[in-house]
Amino acid sequence: MRSDLPSQLNRPLTIGQTTIDCRLVLAPMTLLGHIAFRELLAGFGGYGLLFGEMCSAKRIPREARTGSAYFSWREAERRHLVMQIFGADPPAMATAARIIEEKGLYGVDLNFGCSVATICKQSCGAALLKTPDQAARIVDAVRRAVTIPLFVKFRTGWTDDPAIPVDLARRFASAGADALTFHPRVAPDRRSRPPRWDYIKRVKDAVTIPVFGNGDVFDETDCLRMLKTTGCDGVAIGRMAIARPWLMAQMVGLHSPDTGIYRRTAFAMLDLMERHFDDRRALRRYKKFALYYSANFKFGHNFYKRIGNTQDLKAVKGELAAFFNGNPETTTRPNMNFFL
Ligand SMILES: Cc1cc2nc3c(=O)[nH]c(=O)nc-3n(C[C@H](O)[C@H](O)[C@H](O)COP(=O)(O)O)c2cc1C
């Protein structure tokens, strides 16, 4: 069953006026999918697109590319990078999208899925799923502003009813979205219950634009099962790409990990963070990364606690050396206690 996966993923997919050559994409993740992590991932390969961290549409006009923690990229990734924006105001979202287009990035993604209270209180993110007309107005305004591929990332809505995402998907497609990423969980549910993959199938069947399925793909078997059972056009990988930055390359048949990969990758991530961020930001982001990376180890809580207690990057290096010198035992499936 697994050997089928590279041939399923390494197939061209047309999105708007463009074509990508791999159907596996990195899902957007705040404080995790930053420029340093994307450089780490790029070293392995295995993705068709990279989605960046969400950015406030209102702030984008004021963000300088150098110095911004999240609105920044390397030239080498520009043509694969989709910037995600959040906001509630259609003209502000259109302005931000125009800037993303002017910068020469691959595409823009609208965040209609974040259910964090601070975002929803501003009527942004998943709050927009309660006001589908307003959400569609945003899609329409952005569509009129740019010609680059326009994505919408959304979830089931606020009630567990498949008719809701089906209706939303149709509205987004008719307002001009080029592709959808669908995470089939209701908004208040922050990953405690399994996602309803059967809803991905319903969304896929409801629209003619490409649909990326998302949620709880942990390994190659899951990925193939999502493609086969839902008919989705591609798969967006979130937390597992952080836990195993080589996993996407493995899924497309580019890479087979050796036992030293856990140690090398932990140090490589630290080097890249030091290169891209000031020490305070690098430390904060490394601790966030460490939460998901911990899931790889039988005694992951030990790793996470050690990194979590560090006060500076030198101490992180020391803890990494001590942890890996002890030849930590790895898990085949991630330890779910870390997969918040
Ligand atoms: C720490 C964290 C931050 C996230 N930030 C975003 C975000 O900024 N925008 C977004 O659309 N989704 C965000 N997500 C959701 C992921 O894109 C994805 O939908 C979710 O993790 C399920 O996919 P997975 O099971 O492959 O991780 C975030 C998820 C996590 C764990």
| Domain 2-251 classification at class level | alpha beta
229 vs 208: CA distance, rounded Å: 18
Q: What would the 3-class secondary structure string for the chain be?
A: CHHHHHHHHCCCEEECCEEECCCEEECCCCCCCCHHHHHHHHHHCCCCEEEEEEEECCCHHHCCCCCCCCCCCCHHHHHHEEEEEECCCHHHHHHHHHHHHHCCCCEEEEEECCCCHHHHCCCCHHHHHHCHHHHHHHHHHHHHHCCCCEEEEEEEECCCCCHHHHHHHHHHHHCCCCEEEEEEEECCCCCCCCCCHHHHHHHHHHCCCCEEEECCCCCHHHHHHHHHHHCCCEEEECHHHHHCCCHHHHHCCCCCCCCCHHHHHHHHHHHHHHHHCCHHHHHHHHHHHHHHHHCCECCHHHHHHHHHCCCCHHHHHHHHHHHHHCCCCECCCCCHHHCC
Neighbour-count burial of 259, counting CB atoms closer than 10 A to its CB (0-12 exposed, 13-18 middle, 19+ buried): exposed
- The confidence score (pLDDT) of residue 190 equals 65
30, 51, 152, 294: residue to mutate for ligand 1 pocket, most atoms within 8 A of CB: 30
CA distance 53 to 30: 5
At residue 1, the pLDDT reads 47
Interval between CA 319 and ligand 1 midpoint (Å)? 28
Q: Domain boundaries in the chain?
A: 2-251, 261-338
Q: What is the pLDDT of residue 336?
A: 84
Ligand 1 atom closest to residue 237's alpha carbon, by position in its atom list? 26
145: Cβ below 6 Å to ligand 1? no
Please confirm, yes or no, whether 114 is among the known catalytic residues.
Answer: yes
Q: Which ligand 1 atom is the nearest neighbour of the CA of 339?
A: 31
Tell me, using a 6 A CB cutoff, whether residue 185 lines ligand 1: no
Among protein residues, the one with the nearest Cα to ligand 1's atom 30 is 29
Q: How far apart are CA 312 and CA 271, in angstroms?
A: 13
pLDDT value for 64:
75
> Which residue has its alpha carbon closest to ligand 1 atom 4?
29
pLDDT block averages, 10 residues each, the chain of length 340: 84 98 98 98 98 96 82 96 98 98 98 93 95 98 98 96 97 98 88 89 98 97 98 98 98 93 98 97 97 95 95 98 95 86
Question: In 270-301, which positions are buried (b, 16+ CB within 10 angstroms) versus exposed (e)?
Answer: bebbbebbeeeebbebbbbbbbbbbbbbeebe
> Does residue 183's CB lie within 6 angstroms of at least one atom of ligand 1?
yes
pLDDT of residue 65: 67
Spatial neighbors of 42 by CB under 8 A, at least 6 apart, are 50, 76, 77
54 lines ligand 1 (CB under 6 A): yes
The amino acid that residue 152 corresponds to is V
127-133: long-range contacts, CB 8 A cutoff, minimum separation 24: 127/88, 128/88, 129/154, 129/155, 129/157, 129/158, 129/164, 129/168, 129/187, 130/157, 130/158, 132/167, 132/168, 132/171
Q: What local confidence, expressed as pLDDT, does residue 173 receive?
A: 98
Residue in 29, 192, 240 to alter for ligand 1 test, most ligand atoms within 8 A of Cβ: 29
